[in-house]
Amino acid sequence: MIRRLSMLVAAVGLMAAGPAEVTGQARVVDGDTFSVGAERVRLWGVDAPEGRQVCQDAQRQTYACGDVARDQLVRLIGGRAVRCEIRDRDAYGRAVARCQAGSTDLGEALVRAGWAVDFRQFSRGAYARVEAEAREARRGLWAGRFETPSSWRADARRAQPAPVGPPNSGCVIKGNINAKGRRIFHVPGQQDYAATRIDTARGERWFCSAAEAVAAGWTAAAR
């Protein structure tokens, strides 16, 4: 009886942890990410250029390498169903998985073609040999010059302007103008307060009190 109960508890635990594998048709998002149904999958062990990233080709002409990497992944999948072994979850909730389309290891094939690099921080060099071959043959990205995707992301984060804060510590009510042009104010503790960003260039502003916001023509947020 105790043994059967232990087996049942273990089975429930596995179910709660979610599937270890996801299979189905893929909708490609970028060079190393796609969706299978409601599941967003990030290829394990590789890093491809970001969607907005540009690189230089052999003639030092710039091109949208992120778009080329995405198209390469589309070609590798070729409309076939993918089968992914989930290994982890990243900070965005995506399944980090080693995936195949037919007998093709998608991560390995991207690195071999030169449209992704071995993500050593996580792969522990699983694709290092394949990357070295692509670099030696000057395939894909290696034909020209490029910044590694992880470095490009770090540079992009540093280039983002710092969020504009309230003019003084007492004026923390956010006067936001929504997509329909409605003027709505959010007070600390409301559901959308943290996600609301104030752009003073658009006429948005900070208020020191709800009464001040109402007097200026703003309406209290519903949540």
**Of the listed 70, 94, 112, 205, which one is catalytic?**
94
Residue 175 in contact with residue 204, Cβ under 8 Å? yes
**Of the listed 3, 21, 40, 42, which one is catalytic?**
42
Q: Is residue 52 annotated as a catalytic residue, yes or no?
A: no
3-state secondary structure of 84: strand
3-state secondary structure of 141: helix
Q: Is residue 223 annotated as a catalytic residue, yes or no?
A: no
Task: Extract the runs of DSSP E, i.e. beta strands, from the chain.
Answer: 21-24, 26-30, 33-36, 39-43, 46-47, 55-56, 62-63, 82-89, 95-101, 104-105, 117-118, 173-177, 183-186, 205-207, 219-220
Sign of the torsion formed by the C-alpha atoms of 20, 24, 29 and 32:
positive
**Of the listed 4, 40, 50, 183, which one is catalytic?**
50
Strand partners, 185: 175, 220
Measured distance CA(181)–CA(197) in Å, rounded: 15
Q: Is residue 50 annotated as a catalytic residue, yes or no?
A: yes
- Active site amino acids: 42, 50, 94
